[in-house]
Structure formats: structure tokens, C-alpha cells
Amino acid sequence: RTVKMIPRVFTGERTFISASDVTVALFAIVVILFAIKKRRNNHQDIKVPPGPMSWPIIGNMLQMGEYPHISFTKLREKYGNVYQIKLGSLTVVVLSGIDTIKQALVRQGESFAGRPDLFTFSLIGNGASMTFGEKYGQCWTLHKKIAKNALRTFSQTEAQNSTCSCLLEEHICSETTELVKLLVELSKKEEAFDPIDGLTSSVANVICALCFGRRYDHSDKEFLTLVQINHEVMRAFGSGNAADFFPIFRYLPSPTLRHLIQFIKRMNNFVARNIEEHYNTYDKNCIRDITDALIALCEGRTIEHESMVLSNEQVVSTVNDIFGAGFDTISTGLHWCLLYLIHYPEIQTNIQQEIDEKIGSSRLPRFDDKVSMPYTEAFINEVFRHTSYVPLTIPHCTTKNTIFNGYFIPKDTCVFINQYQVNHDEALWKDPHLFSPERFLDANGQINKDLTEKVMIFGMGKRRCLGDNFARIEIFIFLTTLLHQLNIENPSGQILDLSPNYGLTMKPKHYKITVCQRTG
């Protein structure tokens, strides 16, 4: 048989290959091209979230502006409820829209229950913080159960003898009475004054009683130092840290980072000292506070048939988490409430009318009054919604490779939840930029629970804030007690600014109030 030879001159030598070799080669090329095409088609089915073009090194940092939550909301108009950006070297997926957020945090909750490996998060509790550092999993779930049981135990504990602390309600009501006295005294010294120090100290005393079973005098140096430390830590977190987005900054000298580490250490030392005192004086027959409740739950007990004992670091971090959340969120909420009351004096009049009708002048407000005061509850919810003073939740991250709304999101991707957008979504709220407590009332003047549940301030799903119910009831008691006893007004000539200072919790700009005691 004659074989046709094809010359090859690649090497300069005369060599030959057969026609059958060419056929095999062509067939191989066709198979490879088909495989490549199929692979491309498969990749087309796995889409990544859309998003704006990012710059080298800095990513989309320059697009964030003064108020990142506003920038995120504007980007949603172009890219939808699921999109991604780059902050330095960190890829972030931003979620908006209440249904999208529910899908992520509730229906696919386990997939989005992680916390990103941010450098600042690792500083808190050496990674043992239930809120910031601890990875999602069985240990975290049991840790959260212990913390929830400790909160529940304390709130339900009856005082059994004179050495035991009273109920949480007594702590809050007592502290609000002290705050009224303080504001009256301040009004005697100067007609107009900034209420923030008094508010912050009073709220801090409630959380100190809740966690440590004691209150401090407002002039106590240790107490004032504690309040200042917590303020500095929250401010440092709110402003963001370059080390989270540019890893090289973790190894460069940074006064801001050094001060943050110092503040966290001082806070941890304060909590650790109090916990050590509790271990030394612990009596299982007298649960004085949350720290005692944590100790009790860790003394050989089981949580729903699952045994777990918290390490000392975890106990410290748990108390720290409760302290930080119950302190900053509540004091900031009250600060906003007072600003809106002096900006809308007719609303203050409406709340006081409800107080007079439902409570009267012979006693002070109690927890049970909340259900019979829909207008006051509507006002608090509208402050939460309108200010959105927690504009983004603490960042989440994916715990595994996830398909979400048709997009592929890799494991350990940082996820931002835009609470501000939900609270100002025109699809949910009529005239969302208008402040109107009445939007939460039905035709009978009762609270519309379907609407209040749409307000996002404490997160959602597995990482929802532990103390949201405590925060709501504490703000209610503080607010109603103040307005039961005082008229709070805007000083003559003061121009009020409702725009916030950005942070993890957004604070009102500086303002002053005048107060006078109510008569009759």
C-alpha cells in the first residue's frame, strides 16, 4: 500500500508524517475546541454579581463618599439588590431590598452567618467575641444559646433577699429617675445644655447593673474612663481601619491602630476584673446579674442536651459584647429621640397626652405600659427608620460557596447588609424621607406590627442582635419617664441639623436642650 507522505521542515531536516496522523490531530483539535466551548457555556451559567469598575489597589474606595450607605443605595439603582465592589483588596457583596436580605439572612441563613476575617475583628476578645470574631458553627451556636439564656435568666430572676439585685425593670426605672434629677440640676446651672453626657452615663449605668450588678456615681473616675473608652472603641470601628482593606497597614506604624488596641485592652481588663470578683463572690442561690447567670450556666450544666463550658476569654468577650451593644445602640437611639422631640414639638405634645391618658401623674411608666401606648411606640420606630442610625449591619461573610439569586458567591466573601436602603425604600414606605410616626398606626390608632417588623435596625436571622428587646423597652422607659416629668425644648435661636455623623452607629450633630418640670 502506498502511503502519502507530507514533508515537515521545522528542524531543517526532511521528515515525514502520514495522512492518518493528520486525521488524528484534527480530531483532537476538534475535541479540545468543543471542550473549551462547553466549559465557557458552563461558566456563563455561573454568574458573579455585577458592580462598578474598580481601580487598581484602592478598588472603589473613592466612590464611597462621606456616607457609604447612601453611595450603596445609589449603586443599587444601577446594579440591583445584589452587586459587588472592591474596598482595597477586599471584595464585598452588598445586599439591599428586604426580600433579598430575608432570603440571605433567614432562608439561606447558614450560608451568610459568618464574620469576615477583618483585622480589627480579631482584636476583640482575641477572636473569642461571639459578635465579631468567633466563626459560625456548633460552638458559636451553643455560645449564643448560653448568652441568650443568661439574659433570660437575669430578666426573670426575682429578688430573694436583700443582697440580691432587683429586676432589670427596677434598674432601668431607677436610673431614669436619676437622669430626670440630673437634667433638672443642669437646667439650674445653665439654661441650655448638651444632654449627651447625662444620657450616656445613665444608659451605661443600666448596662453596668445588668452585667455587673452595680451602678456608679456620674462623677466616678473609673466609670467616666469606662464610658470614654467605649466611646473611643466604637468611634474607631465606625471610621473604618485601613488594616482591614490593605493588609500591609497591619505591619506599619499606626497611631490610630495602636490607640484602638490600647482601648480594647483597657475595656477587656475592666470586664475581666469584674468577672474575677464575681467568681470570688458567686452564690448559686443568688443570681445578681448576667455575669452570675453566665457562671451558673457554665457550672456543669447542659444547654438543650449539649454540654459546653465557656472559656474565661469567652465569658469576658460575651459580657463585652452585651455591654457594647446595650450601651452604644441605646444611648445613640435616645440622643436621636430628644433631637426629634425638640424639632417636632407637636409630636412631644402627642406623646405626653398619651402618657397622661394611659399612665397618669400618680406613678411612673413601667414595662407593661408599652402595649397600651401605640403612638409612643410608633414614634420610636419612626426614629429607628428615619435616622437608620445603624445603617449597615456588622459585616457578614459566606460560610461556603453559595449560589444566591442566580449569582455565585465564593466562601469567605464579605457581605454588607444595607439597612438604610430598606428603611428608605419607596416600595415599602410612602414618602420615606418624611418623618411621620402616624405611618405605623392603623385606622383604629393601633400599632401596625407588619410595618414595625420591616424596620431594620438590629439585623436579621442568626446574627440578629441579642439585646434588641432590651433596647426597645429601655428606650421606651427612658423616653416616657423623661416626658412624664419634663418638657424638653429647643433653645431660642438654635438651628437644628438632622444629618448624622457617620459611624458604625451614626450620631446626631451637636445640639442643646432646655428643660422644665411639668406641672399638674
Whole-number pLDDT of residue 157: 40
User: pLDDT at position 243, please?
Assistant: 82
Residue 28: per-residue pLDDT:
61
Residue 332 pLDDT level (bands cut at 50, 70, 90) = very high
The pLDDT of residue 128 is above 50: yes
In terms of DSSP H, where are the helices of 344-467?
345-358, 374-387, 419-423, 449-452
**Comparing 45-49, 338-342, 350-354, 489-493, which segment has the lowest mean pLDDT?**
45-49
Please determine, for residue 35, whether its predicted confidence score (pLDDT) is greater than 70. no
pLDDT exceeding 90 applies to what percent of the chain?
Answer: 52
Percent of the chain with pLDDT over 70: 83
Please report the pLDDT score of residue 141 as a whole number.
83
Confidence band for 226, pLDDT divided at 50, 70 and 90: confident
pLDDT for residue 148 is more than 70: yes
pLDDT at 323: 77
For residue 32, is pLDDT > 80? no
pLDDT above 80 for 131:
no
Q: Name the residue with higher pLDDT: 58 or 306.
A: 58
Q: What is the mean pLDDT of residues 390-405?
A: 95
Domain spans of the chain?
A: 5-45, 61-517
Tell whether domain 61-517 is in CATH 3.40.50.300.
Answer: no
**Residue 138 φ then ψ, to 5°:** -65, -40
- In the prediction, which pLDDT does 122 show? 77
- Single out the residue of 65, 106, 105, 64 nearest to residue 87, CA to CA: 64
Tell me: pLDDT of 44 over 70: no
Q: Is the CB of residue 404 less than 8 Å from the CB of residue 48? A: no
Between residues 170 and 417, the one the model is more confident about: 417
Phi and psi at residue 87, to the nearest 5°:
-115, 100
- Segment among 161-170, 245-254, 412-421, 484-493 with least mean pLDDT: 161-170
pLDDT at 20 over 70: no
Residue 436 has pLDDT above 80, yes or no: yes
Which pLDDT belongs to residue 432? 97
Report residue 270's pLDDT band, with 50, 70 and 90 as the boundaries.
confident
Sign of the torsion angle spanned by Cα atoms 110, 112, 117, 119 = negative
Instruction: Determine the pLDDT at residue 11.
Output: 41
In contact, 392 and 421? CB cutoff 8 Å: no
Region 15-42: mean pLDDT is 55
Is there a binding annotation on residue 286?
no
Does position 254 have pLDDT exceeding 70, yes or no? yes
**The pLDDT value given to residue 4:** 44
pLDDT tens by residue, 495-505: 999 999 888 78
- 473 has a pLDDT exceeding 50: yes
**Mean pLDDT along residues 254-283:** 83
- Mean of the per-residue pLDDT values for the chain? 84
Q: Which residues of 141-155 are buried (b: 16+ CB within 10 A; e: fewer)?
A: ebbbebbebbbebbb
pLDDT confidence band for 8 (50 / 70 / 90)? very low
Q: What is the pLDDT of residue 304?
A: 47
Give Cβ neighbours of residue 140 (< 8 Å, ≥ 6 apart): 130, 134
Between CA 417 and CA 105 the distance in angstroms is: 9
- For the record, the C-alpha cell of 87 comes out as 474596598
Q: What is the pTM of this model?
A: 0.85
Among 37-51, 235-249, 431-445, which stretch is predicted with the lowest mean pLDDT? 37-51
Tell me the mean pLDDT in the region 381-399.
96
Tell me which of 35-39, 216-220, 225-229, 386-390 is least confident.
Answer: 35-39
Q: What grid cell was written down for 42?
A: 458552563
Q: How confident is the model at residue 2 (pLDDT cuts 50, 70, 90)?
A: very low
| pLDDT score recorded for residue 27 | 67
Q: How many helices (H) and strands (E) does the chain have?
A: 17, 14
Residue 146: what pLDDT?
77
pLDDT at 14: 42
- Mean pLDDT for 68-81 is 96
Contact 85, 54 (CB under 8 A): yes
Confidence tier at 187 by pLDDT (50, 70, 90): very high
Indicate whether 158 pLDDT > 70. Answer: no
Q: 49: burial class by Cβ within 10 Å (0-12, 13-18, 19+)?
A: buried
